[in-house]
Structure 1
């Protein structure tokens, strides 16, 4: 039985009415939605929930939303779409300069918001340095295929049924195939700087991943361990 992996959206909005409206519409469009009303809780949830996209209001009760953008951009490229009543060009320019991917002024239509979210997710899943992913939305090596649009990994065209966290690990390695990603880099990118330096969580996930994708988990051909350093995805032969 296949696991349905849905894109997770974190809404950071202190107006309960707007938050409820956004959550209802995104849920109706098959997104997995979590919501919070403060900047500090948002920063904690980004690490714990690993959202695929953040909808961020700037006028939060504890910190300005721009501080959230600056903090998040210090360790991850998760797409951030600002949704704000601030329509001044300087406000827009500042948010975008700090690292926001898009800026939507309130009020806005649901159709436009959904289109902006789809665009942000497409951009983050295509690495322009990787022609294969950029053109097809997939990365292939041997009999393994990572489908970035469907959030699935296939072996011989059979779904390997990775969990959401397992998929994120494989997807990250696939985008940097042939390169060694250190434990610290992966922990920070996947779970944020607050996760610490203990790579046990990675080792546990990797053991499960190898049981699902490797013909022989003890002699991997897709994901290699660089002892004491990190992991490396096999690079497809040209």
Structure 2
């Protein structure tokens, strides 16, 4: 019995880079599709429903950060930005608009593969079991997390979260009052200790606070322990 290869969508307007990525990932037994601009990338996302997206920020028809926002609005597919832009502001924007990872050009193909595989391992590990099982709930104040459904409610109102936002929140909620460093959260939630950018955690904590906290200056749930990291507790 054969299994269907995972599909990786490459949105890249430089033909040489797109070809190198496609050829290398194909040699690693992934199916690939290439889009040379943002509109083509959106169309392929909708028609192919890929398992992973690699996105360049510099595209001829739309800025990559805006495309990242549009992609994330339609899908929770793991998304890695691959860009020549190396400024911290670009990384913050990309991660803030929903990217799961960020690499700068020039890049290592082996590192890129390691990151792609790490994201797949993480999603597989957190995927619901194939057999029905009792839902796993975490409740804290008005906050309720349903791990099986990847669903969060606040005082009975559903809060829309991406898969990675849910995983970070669930990890903290499952270890309430325990302080985690950014590096520990990268390893636990993103699943790759060697390659992670700790700024990713800060961006996702900020996004969760925007969605969950009524007063960001005095958070009720997500607390910063200065010089150490973050914890979830209810005040």
Partner of 1:38: 37
Offset of residue 26 of structure 1 = 0.2
Separation in 1 of the partners of 2:84 and 2:107?
10
The count of residues paired between Structure 1 and Structure 2 equals 139
- SS of the equivalent of 1:54 reads strand
Contact 1:77 1:124 in 2 (8 A): no
Match status 1:10 vs 2:9: yes
Contact 1:70 1:98 in 2 (8 A): yes
Q: TM-score, normalised by structure 2?
A: 0.55
For structure 2, the residue ranges without an aligned partner over 5 or more in a row are 134-147, 151-235
Q: TM-score, normalised by structure 1?
A: 0.54
Give the root-mean-square deviation of aligned CA atoms.
2.4
Match status 1:68 vs 2:75: no
1:76-135 deviation per Cα after TM superposition (whole angstroms, max 9, x unaligned):
2101100000000110011001100000000111110001101222333344xx7xx4xx
Partner of 1:81: 80
- SS of the equivalent of 1:74 reads helix
Closer/same/farther in 2, CA of residues 54 and 93 from structure 1, 3 Å limit = same
Offset of residue 140 of structure 1 = 2.5
Greater RCO (CA < 8 Å, at least 6 residues apart): 1
Off by >6 Å, runs of 4+ in structure 1: none
Match status 1:56 vs 2:61: no
For structure 1, the residue ranges without an aligned partner over 5 or more in a row are 143-174, 178-238
Deviates more, 1:97-106 or 1:3-12: 3-12
Separation in 2 of the partners of 1:125 and 1:4?
15
Separation in 2 of the partners of 1:122 and 1:47?
24
Partner of 2:96: 97
Deviates more, 1:71-80 or 1:83-92: 71-80
